[in-house]
Structure 1
Amino acid sequence: MEVPVGFLANLWSFVSFLPFFSLLFLLGLLKAAIICPVVVGIIVTGNSAVVIGLWPAHSLWTYFCVARTKRLGLVLKIVVLVSLGVPAVLWPVVAVVGSLLGGIGYGFFAPLVTTFEAVGQNAADKCYHCFADGCLSIIKGSCIVVEDFADFCFHSYFSYMDELSEKMPSDEKPLDVKLSKLPGCLLVGLIGMLVDVPLITAVTLWKSPYMLFKGWKRLLEDLIGREGPFLETVCVPFAGLAILLWPLAVVGAVVGAIIASFFLGLYGGVVVHQEESLCMGFSYIISVVSLFDEYVNDLLYLREGSCMPRPRYRRNMSNSPDMEMLENNHYNELKNRGEGSSSKKLISENSRTLKWAIQQYRPMQAWDWLFKSCEANGRTLLHDGLITIKDIEECIVKSNCRTLGIKLPALSLLQCLLVSAKCDSTGLVIGDGVELTRSNVPRDRVFDWFIGPLLIIKDQLNKLQLEESEETCLRKLFMGCKKEKPEDWNDFGYTSGDSVRRAQLQAIIRRLQGIVASMSRIPTFHRRIRNLVKLLYIEAIQAGAPANHIGGILKPDIVARYHLEEGIEKIDMKIMQKGTEQMKMRM
C-alpha cells in the first residue's frame, strides 16, 4: 500500500482513522464488559479451589522436603524452615488475589484485542468476526488457564520438591551460611530494603514521564506517518489501541520496578555472606541504585551512565573492565536484535517493519513445533511397534507417561538435532525452510535456558558423525533401553563397538531426557501431552480393529475432527475408558 506523504495526506489518514477506530473500540469494550465477569468467575473459582484444596499437602510436603534435603546445610535449613511459615500462610491469599487480577486483565483485554485482530483476518465476513471473535474462545481460554494452573500445582510443584530432596552428588557441597555472618546478612538486607526501595522507587517515578511521553510520541509518529509496525493496514487499528493502553504499560513497569526493588535490597545480605564483609554489603546498597538508573537510561535511550555513585562491592572487581566489557557486548547484542542497531534512537529512527517482526519467532511457535513433531513421531513409532497400546493405557489409567511424556519429546529433539547437524545449520532446523538461530530466537530468558544446551548437543552430534544405521538403532535404544551401561546396548544390535562413542551417546540421551523433564514442569506441557496421548489412543484403536467392532464409538470422521490442535481435549474420558475395556477384552 502507499504510505501517505505530506501534511495533508497524513492529516487525512489520521482523521479517517478516528471513526473506524472508535467503533472498534466501543465494540471491544462492550464485549469485554460481557465476557470479563464470566472469565473472572471461572479463573478465581477454579484457581482458588485448587490452591485451597492442595494447601495442606503443599505445606506439609514443602516442610518435609526441606527438612530431608542434603543440599542445604544445617544453619540454612533451620533458617528456611523457620521462615517458611510466612509464604505458607500468604500463598492462598497471593494466589487468589493474583487470579483475580489476572482474570480481570485477561477477561477485559483479550476480547478487546481480538476485536481489532478480526479486522486483519482474511475472512469474507469481517463484520461477523468482529462481533463473534473473542467471546466463546476467551471463555474456553479461561478454563484452560485453570487446567494449566492445576497441572502446575499437581505436577510441577511436587517435581521441584522431589528434585530438592534427591540425593546430592558426592562432588557437590551443601549450600549453607555461616552462623557468625548471619546477623550481618540480616542487618544489611534490612537496611538495603529501607534504602533501596525508596531510592529505586524515586528513580522509577522520575523516569516514568519520559517513558510515557516518548512512547506516545513514537506511537503517534508511526500512526500519522504510517511507518514502522503500522505500515501495514492490518496493524493500523492497533496503533490507537496501543496509544490508549500505553499508560497502563508504564504503570505496570513502575509497579514491577517497585516490587523488584525489595529483592534488590535484600540481595545485599547475599553480598555480605559471599564477600564476608559488611562494607561490601553497604557498598552494594549504594551501587545497585546507580546500576538501576543506568539500566533505565539505556532502556529509554537517555544519556549513558548514571550520575549516582557506584562504589566497589566485590573484592575481585579488579577484573571488572573485562567483566563490564562482556556484559556490555551481551547487552548490545540483545539491543541490536531488538532494534537493528545500538545507535538507533527511540524518537528519531523508524521502527521495525512488520515483516521483520514476523521473522522473530515467539516461544509459543517453537512450543507448537515440538508437539507437532511429537505427534508425527508418535504415529511413526506406533506403526513401528516402538509405542504400544500398553504404554498409552498406562499413561491414561495410571498416569505413568514416562514413555510418551519424556522419551517421545526427547526423541523428537534428537531427530531435530541430527537434521540440524547434517545441514551444518548454525541453529536448529525445526521445519521445511524454518531455522531457529541466534538472530531469530525468541527473546525469552527461560527459552534461552533450553536452546543453549541443545545447540551444544548439536555440535557434539556433528562431531560424532552418526551413520544412518546408527540413527535407526538409536531410535530403538531411545524408546526401549532402560539400562545404564554402554555394554547393555548389545541386546539392541547397536552397530558400533566403540565404548567411548556409546558412552557419549548415552550421555546425550540422558541430557535430552533431563531437558524434557525440565520442560515438563511448564504448565501447558501436561495438557498437550494428554491431548497427544488421546490422539495416539484413537490411532491405536483404529489400527487394531474397525470402528464397528468397538460399538461404533470412534468413527473415522470423528477421528479427523478431533485433531490434536482442534479440540482433541473434547474427547470424553468415559469413551476412553470404554474403549480401553473393549481393547483389553479383545487382547
Structure 2
Amino acid sequence: MEPPRGFLASVWRFFYFLPFFLGLLILGIVKGALLCPLIFLIMTTGNSAIILGLWPAHAIWTYYCIARAKQLGCILKFVLCIGISFILVLWPPVGILASVLGGAGYGFFSPVIATFDAVGEGKTNVFFHCFWDGTWDTIKGSFTVVRDFNDVAFHSYFSVMSDLRLQDPPNGKPHELRLFDVLAAIIVGVIGVIVDLPMITLIALCKSPYMLLKGWNRLVHDLIGREGPFLETACVPFAGLAIILWPAAVAGSVVASILSSFFLGGYAAVVTYQESSIQKGLAYIIASLSIFDEYSNDVLDLPAGSCFPRPQYRMEESVHSSALSRPASFNKEKHDLKKTLSKTMSFKNKILEYKPIKLLEQLFIECKSHGETLVTQGVITTNDIEEAKSKKDGSGIISVGLPAYCILQALLRSIKANSDGLLLSDGTEITSTNKPKDTFFEWFLDPLLIIKDQIKCENLSEEEENYLCKLVLLVGDSERVSDIDAGLVPQNERRRAEICAFARRLQGITKSISRYPTFRRRFDGLVKTLYEGLEKKMGVNLSANGPRSTQRSITGRSLGRLFTQKSFGRRTNKGSDQEEEKSNVNSHQMHEHNEMLIP
C-alpha cells in the first residue's frame, strides 16, 4: 500500500485510521484484562511449583558437582560453594517474582498484540480473528512456557552441571584462585559500584528528556508522512501503540541504565583480577563512564565522543577498545548511514533473516525423515526408542546421535555443493548475510562452519564419510561401534583419530543444542513419531508386548551391511546387487518378526 501524497492527504489518512486504531486498542485491552488472571494463574502456579519442587535437588546436585569438579582447585571450590549459597537462597523468590511479572505481562500484552496483528495485510475473515486471535493461542502458549521451563530446570541444568563435574582441567592443571588478587578485586569492585551507580544514573536522567522528545518527534513525523515504521500497513497499529507507550519505554531505559551500573562498576573487579593490578581496575572505573556515555550518544544519534576521559585499563589495547575510539568523522558517517537506511528500509525489500526457532524446526524435520528411514532399515532399534521414551536414553543414539547425524548430513551436503554456509535439505542456505543475529545462535553456527571447513580440507573418501556417520550416530554404544566392516575403518591411525575427533565435536555441539528450551518438547514428539513408525513396521503393539519387543533386533553383521550399503549412501554399480541385498535384509527382518510372534 502506497503512502498518501501531500499534507492534507496525510492528515485525512491519520484521522481516518484513528477510530479503527482506538477500537482495536480497546478490544485488545478488554481481551487482555479477561485473560490476564487465567494466564497469570497458570504460569505463576506452574513455574513456582517447578522452582520449589526442584530446589532441593538443584541445591544438592550443585554442591556435589562443584565438589567433584576436576577443573576447579580446592580454594576455588570453597569460594564457589559460599557464593552459590547466596544464589540458591535468592533463586526461589527471584524466580517466583519473575514468573508473576512474566505471567501478568504475557497474559495482558499477548492478546493486545494479536488483536492488532489480526488486521494485517493478507488476513481473511478479519472480524472473527479480531475477537478470536490471542485467546486460545495465549492459553496454549502459557502451558508451553511452563513445559519449556520445566525442561530447562529438569534437563538442561543437570546436564550443564554434569559437564562441569566430568570435564578434565585444561592442560592438566585445575583453575585456582589468587587470594591476594581476590581481595583487591573485591575492594575495587565495590568502589566501581559506588562511583558508577550515581554517575550513570545522572547521565541517564539528563538524557531521558531528549530521548522522550526526539522519539515522539520522529514517530509523529513518520505517522504524518507514512515513513519508517508507518510505511507498511501491517506495522501501523504497532507504531501507533509505540507513540502512546513511548514514555514507558524511556522510563524503562532509565531503569535499565541504573541496573547496568552495577554490572559496569562490578566488572572493575574482573579487570583487577585478570590484570593483577589495582591501578588498572581504578582506570577501568573511569573508562566505564566514558564507555556508557559514548554508547548512549550512539543510541540517541548525538555527537560522538564523551566528556569523560578513557584511560587504558588493559596491558594491551584490544581491537574492541580501538574500535570504540575511532575518529568522530567515522562515527558521523555511520550515523548518517543509519538514518538513511532507517527511512528507506521496508519489509518488502529487506534481506530475509532466518530465526533460530525456524532452524530448530528444520533440524527436527530432518531428524524425523532420517529417523524413519533408519528405523525402517533396522539401524535404530526398538531398544533405542524404548530408552528414549522412558527418558533414560542411556546410549544417547536418539537424543544426541540422530540430531548430530542430521547436522553431519547438512555439512556433507554443503561441502559437496561448495556452499559458503550451511545448506539444508529444503534448499535453504544459511550464510553470513541471512543468519540469525542472536549471539546464542552464533555459538552453535560458527563452530559448525569451522568443522565443515576442516572436513572439506581433509577430503574424506566415501568409506571415511560412512565411518564418520556411524561414529556420530552410534554415540555411547561401544558394542555397535566396534561391529563395523573393516573396509570402512581407516588404516591410518592419524586419519582415524581425526575422524573420531570430528565425531566427538559434533556430538558435543549437539548436546549443547539439546539444552535449548524448546528442544526437549520437540524431541518427545520425535520419539513418539519413531515409536509409531516402528510399531507400523513390526505390525505389533510394542506397548502391549513390553520388554519382549526389545529382545531381538537386526544382528550385528546385518547392521554393518545396512550402514555400509544403505544408511549412509554408499552406492553399488549393479542394480541387481542392490535388489538382492534388499531382498536378503527384508527376509531377515521377516524371519525375526516371525520369531518374536511365536509364543
Report the TM-score when normalising by structure 2. 0.84
Contact persistence 1:218–1:346 (CA under 8 A): no
Q: 535, 538, 545: which is aligned to 1:544?
A: 538
The equivalent residue for 1:520 is 514
Q: 426, 430, 455: which is aligned to 2:424?
A: 430
Aligned to 2:337, what secondary structure does the other structure show? Answer: coil
Q: CA deviation at 1:514?
A: 0.3
Pick closer, same or farther for the CA change 1:56–1:525 going to 2, 3 Å.
Answer: same
Q: CA deviation at 1:461?
A: 2.1
The equivalent residue for 1:476 is 470
The equivalent residue for 2:433 is 439
1:504 aligns with 2:488: no
Contact persistence 1:214–1:346 (CA under 8 A): no
Q: CA deviation at 1:229?
A: 4.4
Aligned to 1:400, what secondary structure does the other structure show? Answer: coil
1:391 aligns with 2:384: yes
Contact persistence 1:379–1:539 (CA under 8 A): yes
Pick closer, same or farther for the CA change 1:157–1:220 going to 2, 3 Å.
Answer: same
Q: CA deviation at 1:382?
A: 1.6
State the alpha-carbon separation in 2 of the partners of residues 89 and 189 from structure 1: 23
Deviations 1:515-552 (A, max 9, x none): 0111122221111101111111112212221xxx65xx
Contact persistence 1:111–1:135 (CA under 8 A): yes
1:457 aligns with 2:451: yes
**Structure 2 counterpart of 1:544, which letter?**
M
**Structure 1 counterpart of 2:441, which letter?**
F
Pick closer, same or farther for the CA change 1:489–1:219 going to 2, 3 Å.
Answer: farther
The equivalent residue for 1:563 is none
1:9 aligns with 2:9: yes
The equivalent residue for 2:578 is none
State the alpha-carbon separation in 1 of the partners of residues 74 and 42 from structure 2: 44
State the alpha-carbon separation in 1 of the partners of residues 172 and 197 from structure 2: 36
What is the correspondence of 1:10-89 to structure 2 with a 5 Å cutoff? 10-89=10-89
What is the correspondence of 1:364-375 to structure 2 with a 5 Å cutoff? 364-375=357-368
1:376 aligns with 2:369: yes
Aligned residues: 549
Q: CA deviation at 1:221?
A: 3.4
What is the correspondence of 1:412-423 to structure 2 with a 5 Å cutoff? 412-423=406-417
Q: CA deviation at 1:407?
A: 0.9
Contact persistence 1:300–1:346 (CA under 8 A): no
**Structure 2 counterpart of 1:428, which letter?**
L
**Structure 2 counterpart of 1:461, which letter?**
I
The equivalent residue for 2:239 is 239
Contact persistence 2:466–2:488 (CA under 8 A): no
Aligned to 1:298, what secondary structure does the other structure show? Answer: helix
Pick closer, same or farther for the CA change 1:253–1:509 going to 2, 3 Å.
Answer: farther
State the alpha-carbon separation in 1 of the partners of residues 121 and 8 from structure 2: 30
State the alpha-carbon separation in 2 of the partners of residues 368 and 342 from structure 1: 37
Question: Which has the larger Rg?
Answer: 2
**Structure 1 counterpart of 2:101, which letter?**
L
The equivalent residue for 2:108 is 108
Deviations 1:26-59 (A, max 9, x none): 1111111111111110111011111111111111
State the alpha-carbon separation in 2 of the partners of residues 281 and 19 from structure 1: 57
Q: CA deviation at 1:235?
A: 2.5
Q: CA deviation at 1:198?
A: 1.8
Aligned to 2:429, what secondary structure does the other structure show? Answer: strand
State the alpha-carbon separation in 2 of the partners of residues 448 and 209 from structure 1: 36
The equivalent residue for 1:146 is 146
Aligned to 1:307, what secondary structure does the other structure show? Answer: coil
**Structure 1 counterpart of 2:363, which letter?**
L
Q: CA deviation at 1:418?
A: 1.2
Pick closer, same or farther for the CA change 1:540–1:172 going to 2, 3 Å.
Answer: same
Aligned to 2:498, what secondary structure does the other structure show? Answer: helix
**Structure 1 counterpart of 2:47, which letter?**
N
Please, which moves more after superposition, 166-175 or 410-419?
166-175
When the two chains are superposed, the root-mean-square deviation of aligned CA atoms in Å is 3.0
Contact persistence 2:72–2:169 (CA under 8 A): no
Q: CA deviation at 1:489?
A: 8.0
Contact persistence 1:222–1:228 (CA under 8 A): yes
Please, which moves more after superposition, 232-241 or 140-149?
232-241
Contact persistence 2:215–2:246 (CA under 8 A): yes
Pick closer, same or farther for the CA change 1:507–1:344 going to 2, 3 Å.
Answer: same
State the alpha-carbon separation in 1 of the partners of residues 50 and 38 from structure 2: 18
Contact persistence 1:63–1:81 (CA under 8 A): yes
Pick closer, same or farther for the CA change 1:279–1:470 going to 2, 3 Å.
Answer: closer
Pick closer, same or farther for the CA change 1:170–1:459 going to 2, 3 Å.
Answer: closer
State the alpha-carbon separation in 1 of the partners of residues 412 and 511 from structure 2: 20
**Structure 1 counterpart of 2:87, which letter?**
P
Deviations 1:234-288 (A, max 9, x none): 2222221232333333333333332222122122112222222222111111111
What is the correspondence of 1:341-380 to structure 2 with a 5 Å cutoff? 343-346=336-339, 350-357=343-350, 359-380=352-373
Pick closer, same or farther for the CA change 1:442–1:213 going to 2, 3 Å.
Answer: farther
The equivalent residue for 1:166 is 166
1:194 aligns with 2:194: yes
Q: CA deviation at 1:511?
A: 0.7
State the alpha-carbon separation in 2 of the partners of residues 328 and 493 from structure 1: 59
State the alpha-carbon separation in 2 of the partners of residues 132 and 323 from structure 1: 49
Aligned to 2:424, what secondary structure does the other structure show? Answer: strand
The equivalent residue for 2:95 is 95
Please, which moves more after superposition, 382-391 or 343-352?
343-352
The equivalent residue for 1:571 is none
Contact persistence 2:404–2:473 (CA under 8 A): no
Contact persistence 2:228–2:344 (CA under 8 A): yes
Deviations 1:440-497 (A, max 9, x none): 2111111111111011111112223344554445433432365789x95853641754
Pick closer, same or farther for the CA change 1:386–1:34 going to 2, 3 Å.
Answer: same
The equivalent residue for 1:569 is none
The equivalent residue for 1:400 is 393
The equivalent residue for 2:529 is 535
Pick closer, same or farther for the CA change 1:102–1:296 going to 2, 3 Å.
Answer: same
State the alpha-carbon separation in 1 of the partners of residues 434 and 325 from structure 2: 20
Structure 2 gap segments, 5+ residues each: 551-595
Contact persistence 1:473–1:493 (CA under 8 A): no
Contact persistence 1:386–1:480 (CA under 8 A): no
% identical equivalent positions:
47
Pick closer, same or farther for the CA change 1:150–1:278 going to 2, 3 Å.
Answer: same
Pick closer, same or farther for the CA change 1:185–1:480 going to 2, 3 Å.
Answer: closer
State the alpha-carbon separation in 1 of the partners of residues 281 and 486 from structure 2: 58
